[in-house]
Structure 1
Amino acid sequence: MNPAVPATAAVTAAPSASGKLRLLAVTIVVVALAELIGPANFQVGPGKVVLLPMLWALLLAAAWGIAQRRLPSAVRIDTGLQGLAGGLLDAGLLLFIVKLGLTVGAALPMVRQAGWALFFQEFGHAFGTLALGLPLALLLGIKREAVGATFSVGREGNLVIISEKYGMASPEGRGVLAEYITGTVLGALFIAVLAGFVASLNIFDPRSLAMGAGVGSGSLMAAALGAITAQVPPEQVKQITAIAAASNLLTSVVGFYFTLFLSLPACSWLYGKLEPVLGRLTQRGRAPVAEAAPANASQAVAAHALSLADTVLAWLVMVGGVVIANALSYKVPVLESLEGMAVVVVIVALVEAIKRLLPRVPLVLVLSVVATVFGIPGLLPFTDTVLALTGKLNFLAFTTPVLALAGFSVAKDLPLFRQLGWRIVVVSLTATAGTFLGATLIAEFFH
């Protein structure tokens, strides 16, 4: 037996119907608690770090899962349910992609006005992560997890890409989830310090730094932008903020396709070329981290190929979580949020039906295109209605239930994350530095 696989893993029972309902209820409770805690702000040097409810959701869910043996059975999320949470995360992220696509369609004029600098700096965001992160990961002895951890900065859309191609229970899935968690817990603090330090050197145009700050994450952008704007003249703050927002939007949109078609294939190819060379330079390079089977392999297969009932359960988790987050943090009436989420679910269901009829259809790509087309104002007879109904769904409200499911999913994989340990944290932060510095360097050529 592989020593990385616990002896009890093979006998994990499939979740029951009552267990699935318990997971739904507990996830909604975690989302509510996270939103009630709310954001926390503190200064770090010249910048400000904002810790959002999605972080509390991740920590609460992970702690809930870890403490499963100490909790009453009525609220216990055992290993089987934690495995199911990983599958629900895969399906739930599709609703997030719809919201992203609708946002992009509505903002296409802004993207067009951003200019060539914004387009070309995207190559820095796309390849900066693997340029710095991949060699370091291989030198530290990380195996296929390195692909998931360094092909991107590891935000929500990148989770979807890895989930669709490899599954979240794969080594690549563990890598991107580790990058996601590291970025969520430490990313804002790290990039605030990094951006503030780089800005203080006065070697880059502030507009270039603003483009570098648009890494595709609202919380990371806000942290970096706070550190940058603290060191520019007050009359320039508005321009810097607009450029950073446009860059962040472009990274969230175009960056999705860059990572899907360019950086992920390049990272996987480079791994195959570099690992035999760099892996020999460290004894840890022979550690069987990436080859270890997931602790709950039976759930891993089921999670990546959800039944229709479990897919609907994922949608219910997301709908409930977004409605709660929208009501508590953004004061949007429940009925209005439900109307918007109904539109989002219908779009996902439409593309899901196409996928089930035509299994070879690339689900994420088709979903992104459909949502973007539906979001272009005036293009279709119903577009304005779709935008009016979904416009009140706050973007960050989607991240809280996503992070809650991620927290439960992480709890079951703690032995594997312990094996990766500090190495994956260092690699993840290096990848974050790579995307910021890479985009800043390329943007500087235009300024």
Structure 2
Amino acid sequence: MTERIMAVNPPGVFAGTRLAKLFFCAAACVLVAELIGTLTIPLGGKLQIILMPLLWALLIGAVWGISSPRLPQALQIDRKMQVLSAAVLQPALLIFVAKLGLLVGGNLPTILQSGWALAFQELGHFFGTMVFGLPLALLLGIKREAIGATFSVGREPSLAIIGEKYGMDSPEGHGVLAEYITGTIFGAAFIAIFAGLIASLGIFNPLALAMGAGVGSGSMMAAASGAIAAQETPEVAKQVAAFAAAANLVTVTIGTYFTLFLSLPFTVWLYGKLEPVLGRTRAISSVAWDKGLQRETSENLPQLSAVHLLAIWLASGLMALFGNWYSYKAWPDREILAGLAIIVAVVAVGFAIYRLTKNALPAVLFVSLIAMVLTYPGVPYADAVSVSTGKINFLALATPVIAYAGLSIAKDVPVFRKLGWRIVLVSLVANAGTFIGATLIAQFFVHPHI
């Protein structure tokens, strides 16, 4: 997750009323999503699709934004609101990260027992995208755009790597931007459905699936781990969340260097070997592109002050309490409110350290480390912290975050229309590949030892 959140907010960036309206819209999405609840669609045999509240929140927010021009003005979510929602998504994710860190701390001895599983699953994340996506891209006629689209799951670090090495106006830059937009619009929904389908087969250890869910995107990790956890017992579901968080933290921190020095060079090498064979029937690239695409995808996010950040964390936490009560039957009593206060405090302290260190390392790292320390066995008051924060379900905290993502989607639809269907298909296959690749490697090491 690229940290573009600023501590100082210049006058006139956006009004507080716009932020308040965004909270209202996100809360409405969460309310309706939780009331719909979790639906299971059987597909025959063991296969099934799990549709959770966080997926409903994503879809409701997306439909709301796309249909806004036809709604009364008071209910419209204009482009400025959509851009603001994208900016709010980043700090809101830290609430979810803190909750997962608290789960990781208590489960850290078990996670450490996984040993090589957690270390080597990273190979699957970064080579899975290329192994599955690159051949398909070449068969569909995509040329060097395939490198940018398949060397990694195209989130912000991937944009930075390709931009520095090739430039964003290059074919490789076009490819990674196409992957980025496709992942933004469809990533969470697709990976939730796909991970749920794979989990329903019953052939993989749920902890291996959890490590596969740590793809390096907070929203996609939340969606995938939620779909897996929904099919497990409450105790196993907590372990799924913890392992997914640990894998995601590895991907976010060391994964960038892994991508830069291993997966990108290997993808370039493999492209040189496969393109003359698989791409020989296609003479030109199939990626629709124009000069305005890069400009439209690089819009600056609003800057957020410390007051705005605190409001985002509190509002998102309070939204989560409704789902925690309605879906998980935990009334927000004094202990749960104390747990929410601890989570917000962990985020605030972790983000403050991030700022004091001049953004040297990602904020998610500091937030995760503080949370893990608080619940690590043997640390004073670790049990009390675990009990109070443990009463807040991690999926309830994920739903408001995904709602922000949904409300931001409409701004990317015009860009998405400029992309060819081939690059979209390749992007989805690459996302599936990173999940399957990491799960397969983790399964080899984790089964049956954990």
> Which TM-score tier does this pair reach, normalised by the shorter chain?
0.7 to 0.9
1:215 corresponding residue in structure 2: 212
1:44 corresponding residue in structure 2: 43
Q: Tell me if 1:93 matches 2:86.
A: no
**Which of 324, 327, 330 is 1:329 aligned to?**
327
Shift of 1:106: 0.7
1:69-126 alpha-carbon deviations (Å, 9 max, x no partner): 2222222211101000000001111111111111111111222344545654453245
2:313 corresponding residue in structure 1: 315
Question: Structure 2: where are the runs of 5+ without partners?
Answer: 1-11, 164-172, 214-220
1:358 corresponding residue in structure 2: 357
Q: Is the 8 A contact 1:86 1:406 kept in 2?
A: yes
Give secondary structure in 1 for the equivalent of 2:353.
helix
**Which of 254, 260, 264 is 1:261 aligned to?**
254
Instruction: Report the residue type matching 1:187 in the other structure.
Output: I
Q: Is the 8 A contact 1:214 1:245 kept in 2?
A: no
Cα 1:31–1:337 shift into 2, 3 Å: farther
Give secondary structure in 1 for the equivalent of 2:40.
strand
1:160-204 alpha-carbon deviations (Å, 9 max, x no partner): x7799999xx9868745633653543435445656778x8xxxxx
TM normalised by structure 1 equals: 0.74
Q: Structure 1 residues 30-39 or 185-194, which shifts more?
A: 185-194
1:72 corresponding residue in structure 2: 72
Instruction: Report the residue type matching 1:252 in the other structure.
Output: A
Q: Is the 8 A contact 2:40 2:50 kept in 1?
A: yes
1:104-160 alpha-carbon deviations (Å, 9 max, x no partner): 1111122234454565445324532333235645766498897587624x8xxx78x
Cα distance in 2 for partners of 1:324, 1:272 equals: 48
Instruction: Report the residue type matching 1:331 in the other structure.
Output: K
Q: Tell me if 1:24 matches 2:17.
A: no
Q: Structure 1 residues 56-65 or 286-295, which shifts more?
A: 286-295
Q: Is the 8 A contact 1:212 1:437 kept in 2?
A: no
Cα 1:287–1:354 shift into 2, 3 Å: same
Cα 1:326–1:163 shift into 2, 3 Å: farther
2:408 corresponding residue in structure 1: 409
Cα 1:316–1:221 shift into 2, 3 Å: closer
Cα 1:105–1:322 shift into 2, 3 Å: same
Shift of 1:329: 1.1
Cα distance in 2 for partners of 1:97, 1:283 equals: 43
Cα 1:176–1:26 shift into 2, 3 Å: same
1:23-49 alpha-carbon deviations (Å, 9 max, x no partner): 111111111111001111111222222
Shift of 1:328: 1.8
After superposition, residues 223-262 of structure 1 pair within 5 angstroms as: 249-262=242-255
Cα 1:48–1:193 shift into 2, 3 Å: closer
Cα RMSD (Å): 4.2
Q: Structure 1 residues 253-262 or 349-358, which shifts more?
A: 253-262
Give secondary structure in 1 for the equivalent of 2:212.
coil
1:429 corresponding residue in structure 2: 429
Cα distance in 1 for partners of 2:95, 2:355 equals: 17
Shift of 1:334: 2.6
Instruction: Report the residue type matching 1:182 in the other structure.
Output: F
Cα 1:271–1:83 shift into 2, 3 Å: farther
Q: Is the 8 A contact 2:339 2:392 kept in 1?
A: yes
TM normalised by structure 2 equals: 0.74
Question: Structure 1: where are the runs of 5+ without partners?
Answer: 1-12, 200-205, 228-236
After superposition, residues 363-402 of structure 1 pair within 5 angstroms as: 363-379=363-379, 381-402=380-401
Q: Is the 8 A contact 1:58 1:404 kept in 2?
A: yes
Q: Is the 8 A contact 1:95 1:348 kept in 2?
A: yes
Instruction: Report the residue type matching 2:341 in the other structure.
Output: A
1:328-375 alpha-carbon deviations (Å, 9 max, x no partner): 211222344432221111111112222333314312222222222222
Instruction: Report the residue type matching 1:254 in the other structure.
Output: A
Shift of 1:307: 2.6
2:59 corresponding residue in structure 1: 59
Cα distance in 1 for partners of 2:228, 2:318 equals: 31
Cα distance in 2 for partners of 1:110, 1:178 equals: 35
Shift of 1:398: 1.7
1:349 corresponding residue in structure 2: 348
Q: Structure 1 residues 401-410 or 331-340, which shifts more?
A: 331-340
Cα 1:342–1:212 shift into 2, 3 Å: closer
Give secondary structure in 2 for the equivalent of 1:19.
helix
2:293 corresponding residue in structure 1: 292
Report how many residues are paired: 405
Q: Is the 8 A contact 1:58 1:407 kept in 2?
A: yes
